[in-house]
Structure 1
Amino acid sequence: MSAAPLPPHLLAAAERVCAAGRQVVAAGLSPGASGNLSERVGDLVVVTPTGLGLGELEPDLLAVVDTAGVPVAGSGPSKEVPLHLALYRREPEVAAVVHLHSPCAVAASCLPPWSPASALPPVTPYFVMRVGRTPLAPYAPPGSAELAASLDGLPGRFTAALLGNHGSLTGGRDLDRAVDAAVELEEAARVTVLLGGREARWLDDGQAAELAGRYGTHWVHGA
């Protein structure tokens, strides 16, 4: 299955990716063999392989690609590598990416966005603090160049997005933060879906902007 072994200096990153995979599976956020994770180390990206559940990962089963998506070591990488690379290009501070098909995020991704800038409203302070604005990328086939390009086409700064009729994408300065953001995004989506479009009270612009400024996330007036 392996084309070339992982370089020794990437083994720690590979172990972190495997641990994160077990974490999201234990949290019920990765049904079946869905979802993919990556960590950037310099000019290389350690990414989960194709066709393997996130709870079944082992370091020697992971893949390594360069920043152009060309495989350089390990197994065959997930088909969603271009999506991960698109977020890395947008936000140089992002060093880890989590893409999941968690149920409530998928449900929310099928709904009209709350605003042009964020699919979800500032429903809780924790969503604003840990995730920030989360635009809705238009539907494109999974693994396609169009899906990665849909992320490139979204305006403004963000480290999370919902992918139309598909799932969630979160980034962070490390895998712990990217996983935390994925968990919090799922919770914000769950609350939004539970409200079912009813009239609700969100954090106002000032409250959301204050939290985003204090915790280093991205939020803009009205979104």
Structure 2
Amino acid sequence: MSTEAKSREAICALGAKLAARGLCPGTSGNISVRIDEGWLMTPTNSSLGELDPAQLSKLDAGGKHVGGDPPTKEALLHRSVYDVRPKDGAIVHLHSTHAVAISCLDPSCHHNTESTLPPITPYFVMRVGKLPLVPYFKPGDPKLADAIREYAKGHRAVLLANHGPVVAGTSLSAASASIEELEETAKLHLLLQGLKTRTLSDFQVREIEEAFPS
């Protein structure tokens, strides 16, 4: 099986897993993987739980659609992240319930201006780090692609206001692990609202970052 064929199968397998876990309701969310000629991407209006490897969209290095079904309208978003993160090979974008809930909170409710979520667990620090909020733009708006480019330069994960998380990884499995950790942390954060909570200290965060560099 060729590398491209393996990537097609991996995208579909991940889509089925995320759907089974209830992280991509309806036809929401999209997945992409970088390949030698460009990248593969889930098609527009497709359910991540019902993907066909042969119908995945194929785009060339310049973002032109060259095969398969038409790509998601958020293809520009993926391209922007790939442009500024040349070492990453996959991107997962979801409309997962708890992360979207965080994206809809008033900014005064966020942890700080650098991250919408606090360092509740070491695994959030290892797999996500800081989670900045990207200002709201309508889905598919080229201005959103421009905005996310600036945030993605220094962050593997970002949260789109009133929309959802976008996570890049060196591999599809890495991006998947990070976005699932992000969703669980968002859930924990909401569950802990109103309760006295102990988050990791700055020293503990630095200790984890040094022990597990991204």
Of the candidates 203, 206, 209, which is equivalent to residue 206 of structure 1? 203
Give the gaps of 5 or more residues in structure 1.
Answer: 1-7, 218-223
**Residue 150 of structure 1 corresponds to which residue in structure 2?**
147
Of the candidates 75, 85, 95, which is equivalent to residue 91 of structure 1? 85
Structure 1 residue 69, shift from structure 2 partner: 1.7
Structure 1 residue 98, shift from structure 2 partner: 0.2
User: Structure 2 matches for 1:35-184, cutoff 5 A?
Assistant: 35-111=29-105, 112=107, 113-154=110-151, 157-184=154-181
Does the 8 Å CA contact 2:38/2:63 hold for their aligned counterparts? no
Label 1:200 to 1:161 Cα distance change in 2 as closer, same or farther (>3 A). same
Give TM-score, length-normalised by structure 2.
Answer: 0.92
Structure 1 residue 155, shift from structure 2 partner: 7.6
Of the candidates 11, 19, 27, which is equivalent to residue 25 of structure 1? 19
**Residue 4 of structure 1 corresponds to which residue in structure 2?**
none
Does the 8 Å CA contact 2:152/2:158 hold for their aligned counterparts? no
- CA root-mean-square deviation: 1.6
Paired residue secondary structure (2:87): coil
1:14 lines up with 2:2 in the alignment: no
Label 1:203 to 1:149 Cα distance change in 2 as closer, same or farther (>3 A). same
Give TM-score, length-normalised by structure 1.
Answer: 0.89
Structure 1 residue 41, shift from structure 2 partner: 1.0
Structure 1 residue 197, shift from structure 2 partner: 5.6
Structure 1 residue 216, shift from structure 2 partner: 2.2
Stretch moving more, 193-202 or 19-28: 193-202
Identity percentage of aligned residues: 43
Give the gaps of 5 or more residues in structure 2.
Answer: none
Aligned amino acid, residue 75 of structure 1: D
Aligned amino acid, residue 130 of structure 2: R
Paired residue secondary structure (2:126): helix
Query: Aligned equivalents of 2:120 and 2:40: distance in 1?
Result: 33
What is the CA deviation profile of residues 155-205 of structure 1, one whole-angstrom value per residue up to 9, with x for unaligned ones? 861100111000111111111111111110001111112222654221111
